[in-house]
Structure 1
Amino acid sequence: MSRPRSQAEYLARLVPPSVAGLNRRSLLAGAAGAGALLGTGVLAGCGSDSGSGTDSKTVSVGSNASDPTPKDVLAKLTAAFQGSSGIQANINTVDHNTFQENINNYLQGKPDDVFTWFAGYRMRFFAAKGLAGDVSDVWGKLSGFSDAFKKASTGDDGKQYFVPASYYPWAVFYRKSVWQQHGYQVPQTLDALNALGAQMKKDGLNPIAFADKDGWPAMGTFDILNLRINGYQFHIDLMAGKEAWTSDKVKKVFDTWAGLLPLHQPDALGRTWQEAAQSLQQKKSGMYLLGLFVAQQFNDNEQDDIDFFTFPEIDSTIGAKALDAPIDGYMMARKPKSTANAKKLLEYIGSVDAANIMVKGDPGTLVANTGADTSGYTALQKKAAELVGSATEIAQFLDRDTRPDFASTVIIPAFQQFIKDPKNIGGLLTSIENQKKSIFTS
């Protein structure tokens, strides 16, 4: 594939044709399954079904920004919004994973007026189900977003249901001082990565920090291995249910992963990503495959000591230019208690002023609005933006590129079983494929 000419062209590839072409009927069928499978708890929303727009002073925000840095950024955003509009934004923060697991029931109940969510398939899924509000008129007032970001915010009916705020690439992070101390070099191939990991073990380090207590981090490992071994289109088709998990191509991914597991931090199923990041921060681990948000776990005076490289090449005919770079942002409930206030908040979140607040407050993301003053980016953020700019294909992340019910009820337990016991790959893939057929044909 030819090298893209602009960031808009790179980001245009965030919405794969094989997924974008799914119709409303197929999405609704998936949503029916998600209602039973995404969790039984209901998030405590503050919205109503009136949609009357009579409340002129407040707007509620359902937020999954439970970690300190993004939580603080959202507080600053809403404070600035209140200062400029006179409208008070009441934030309902819920643990990130709990929010995600219960989103279906939350949206079918009385959700907050505005809520945090993800672009692409996961946005279209709930828009098609009628659980999100049309914000096309908000987009008519926004500037600084490429057509690619607008495409990633558009439902199957051609309307916009999402306002992007930030995005971040996945890569292999490390501490410069540790690597300088031991003379480590960035690996360009899988063999070099294995050799580096073996040396790190001899030096008393966990070669690769790893955690999967929450179920989703291991998806990033699968994604990058599949992208490197089988290429972007196969990966996207597999996520769309068009390829078999029992194929030799997928088996090769798991065989490769099994070979790398001894280099990973042990007991991953009992560890959160934050705890794994702390092992990198404390110089106990040599590397960590994660999103740019890992930088949130480092002190300000440690930011310059963080660096990263993209996961190395495995097949020279495929290369190492594809990556995960998910987009985060905000959506509106289908019937907010004040539609006008909800849209005013979304318009502010999509503004350059809001983007500038995010630049100053969060070293772990890149802002979506191209009009923002990014001179305040750390060296790590600047390099991350360059990485996204050099990518030839960009995926959203496994649980955003496939059906949410398949990701949550099949993939999470399957990957955790693999991590626990990587020997029975054939049986595991047969189980995944059988469940996939049932879910994707429902």
Structure 2
Amino acid sequence: MLHILTLGLNHQTAPIEVREKAAFGPDSIHQALADLTQSAGVAEATILSTCNRTEIYCGQENADKTRILAWLSEYSGLNQRDLDKSIYHYPNEAAVKHAFRVASGLDSMVLGEPQILGQMKDAFLTASSIGATGKVLNRLFQHTFSVAKQVRTDTAIGANAVSVAYSGVNLAKRIFTRLSQQTVLLIGAGETIELVARHLKQNQVKHIIIANRSIDKAQTLARAAGGEAITEAISLAQIPERLHHADIVVTSTASTLPILGKGAIEAALKKRKHSPMFILDLAVPRDVEPEVSQLKDVYLYTVDDLKSMVDENREERLRATEQAENIIDFQVVKFMRWMRSLESVPAIKSFRAGLNDLKQAELQRALKKLGNGGDAEKVLEQLARDLTNKFAHQPSQVLKQADIDGNASIISAARKLFNL
């Protein structure tokens, strides 16, 4: 039987400097999964990597984390000591509960945020598309998505959820009282930037510039964010010549290297005559060099800075959280029953194989008798009698011995097993 093991780090256990080293980009995730399943003795695997967490969900013959931890250390370049300080691991039932809580938004920086569910689905689809998942993880993630849907349907946590993107826009509103009058530069075209663009549109921002490696994706997002706003799509190479126009910069790409350096921001500030710039870096690894925070007239925030934002619906969400935890606890029990049922599968297969061997042996004897001219009715009677006696022999012997030993539990189990 496979054990489920989850190993990871998140915004609560690791600073951004560690998280960005442990992050897996879309270009590396396939190779990482292949390497993990081949070199770390993992039968099934899925890697969830977002700006706030990196988690490895595994199905393996034991619940030992040693080889997986060693693999992550080697793959990320983080030494074992740094990982030990930041890593958490959950075996079996605890892993199942953790998966349910993550998908439901209960383990997010902003309680109840819905974005993580989509990211989890993408992670599972990526793993399953290359054959990295199997019976156990397939069942786990399908059950996880069902639980998350139930939590959002049956509790108020979905109605009151706030995404990281929404929190970022609210933070910008604290700095610029008239957000609608600002020019915004969005770098990237993924789900996070799409959510930011949606919130900017709701705040009636009039001018949005979208920069992306793929100009086609940038144009698609620009059209979606349109309406009354003036939207432009540019390439990443055009950022330096347009950066000084931006009052607000929000960036979230999968780049392994910074998109914006200190020099580029300094040049933009000079052209802006040191008019303030608000920069929100939602990427892990970071898109903006940390040294940019040293510049005057720049308000630089990362995903970790959003921890300090006030949760206006905290009490309501906490009530919803209690309901959600009850749903999750019930569903964990349900899933673990299925896991335990897998233990009976080898016994059932062996039992059926034994019966099949018995059937084949007796059938061959009966066919041989018929071939030798035996009376068909008598041969069939003998076949039925021999099958009955041989099937009942071993259980009868065990029950007799149980009676002698006074073992009532075996007798009780037999009554239930054979519906006596």
Give the TM-score range, shorter chain: under 0.3
Which structure has greater helix proportion? 2
TM-score, normalising length: structure 1: 0.27
**Structure label with greater radius of gyration:** 2
TM-score, normalising length: structure 2: 0.28
